[in-house]
Amino acid sequence: MEKPSKAITPKTEDFSQWYQDVVRKADLMDYAPIKGFMVIKPYAYRMWEFIQAELDRRFRETGHQNAYFPLLIPAGLLQQEAAHVEGFSPEVAWVTRGGSEDLAEPLAIRPTSETIIGAMYAKWIQSYRDLPVLINQWANVVRWEKATRPFLRTTEFLWQEGHTVHRTAEEALAETRQQLAIYQETLEGLLAIPVVAGVKSAGERFAGAVETYTLEALMSDGRALQAATSHFLGQNFARAFSIQFLDEDGTLKYGWTTSWGVSTRLIGGLIMVHGDDRGLRLPPKVAPIQVVVVPIARGHERDAVLEYAHKVVAAAQPLARVHLDDRPEWTPGYKFNDWEMRGVPVRFEVGPRDREQGTVVVARRDTGTKTTWAWTEVAHALPALLESVQQELYRQAREFLEAHSYAVTTVAEMAALGYRGFFWANWCGDEACADRLKQETGITIRCLPLDARPEPGLGCLMCGGPASHRAVLARAY
């Protein structure tokens, strides 16, 4: 049997090709026979299931329930909120024919669900006693992208979208911020991805929102990734869809709504934050396999070593997701490379000498270091090791973010740094300055960090005028 190649392009040589190599050779996805669509393979889908499980638990703890809404949205509904439809219209895919008949009204394949959910909420909500409505859905959406990249930007992707209605603006704002905090805790705690939390500028906020809160992550090529968003929609959608309730004082009022979501692009972020020239490096909490056991023996020693490997697996299995690689057709070296490509956090190597001495060689994917344990140590040492790997990956990513965050006062300073990193700068708040920055450099305002204030004595990065905001700028995916 011919060995499949595991060689990948170095990150510093061609980051884009490195990324493509990793997602294919780590067996995360395959290209579907439709341009812009992909198949998420089991290894990557398991990561998504861990993300789902963590978020679903947090949503339920905060009173949210799951529901499901239709994939198809009548054109009339999509057009009811003007700013919303204007923002999404270039990406909407339409169904115009059903069976052998042309449809009387075109149906949009959901690019997001505010409109159809708003129409349903208008039916369900009558009184203040019906509030708050706290619903989340796990679904797929379609946005007809011109340029696609696996996980980061595909025509169809998976996500969750929460949609809530509240009695007051204060309650809706509290909901928006609560969900942002849940996302931040999940990104940093589960995926080991540090983020900057902030508010989008008017030019970057979600179509139809009053405020968009965002988490921005820095990839290892110095570009930003919008990792999560939470939107305070005010009463824009409530007015468009007549989401009204009779309040306790007998007055008919419009509800205050929010929406918030993350998608499978988090898997892309996971790859680009932690991956290296050998492939993935997965935080243990989201790794489909946390420990791989590789027996190393040939000939007459193989059966005895394999029996010992099963003993090691039995010791580790109650504590972690463990896989025994007993494939006889591949060499140990190939197996090491294979599991390193897949980012398995810990590898146990067992050979004839280990069987005789009752030991295990322990290799860490995050640091590349090796130690030797007595096999009897596995039961009490493995949980601490996995937690150590989790924390080390976060530490490395946080250190990278901090080392590549720069306070700047001119565009020339950003150019000197290759436009790579997070650039903290004063901004006057005029969208004309933001537009000119984007046109000249490809850099956008990623967010206005929470609680950040303009640097005293400095004007706007672009026009030099009085600054009203401290902004984080970057080129982004």
pLDDT tens sequence across 394-428: 999 999 999 999 999 999 999 999 999 999 999 99
pLDDT reported for residue 86: 75
DSSP state of 71: S
Summary mean pLDDT of the chain: 96
Give phi and psi for 198, each to the nearest 5.
Answer: -170, -170
Task: Summarize pLDDT for 151-183 with one digit per residue, the tens.
Answer: 999 999 999 999 999 999 999 999 999 999 999
Per-domain residue ranges of the chain: 15-274, 289-384, 405-474
Answer yes or no: pTM beyond 0.85: yes
- The token pair at 104 is 């009387």
Strands 101-109 and 38-40: unpaired
Is residue 357 within 8 Å of 364, Cβ to Cβ?
Answer: no
Is residue 72 within 8 Å of 108, Cβ to Cβ?
Answer: yes
Task: Summarize pLDDT for 109-163 with one digit per residue, the tens.
Answer: 999 999 999 999 999 999 999 999 999 999 999 999 888 999 999 999 999 999 9
pLDDT reported for residue 476: 97
* Span 451-473, average pLDDT: 97
pLDDT reported for residue 348: 98
3-state secondary structure of 212: strand
Secondary structure E strands in 240-391: 244-246, 252-254, 256-263, 291-295, 322-324, 346-350, 359-364, 370-374
pLDDT interval class at 2 (50, 70, 90): very low
* Span 315-335, average pLDDT: 95
Is residue 341 within 8 Å of 278, Cβ to Cβ?
Answer: yes
Q: What's the CA gap between 274 and 343, in Å, rounded? A: 9
Spelled out in words, what is the top-level CATH class assigned to the domain 289-384? alpha beta
Which CATH architecture best describes the domain 405-474? 2-Layer Sandwich (3.30)
* Span 179-193, average pLDDT: 98
pLDDT reported for residue 244: 98
pLDDT interval class at 84 (50, 70, 90): low
pLDDT interval class at 78 (50, 70, 90): confident
* Span 198-215, average pLDDT: 96
Same fold, 15-274 and 405-474: no
3-state secondary structure of 94: strand
Instruction: Please state the length of the chain.
Output: 477
pLDDT reported for residue 90: 85
Count the Cβ atoms, other than its own, within 10 Å of residue 379: 12
Q: 15-274 has which CATH code? A: 3.30.930.10
pLDDT reported for residue 4: 53
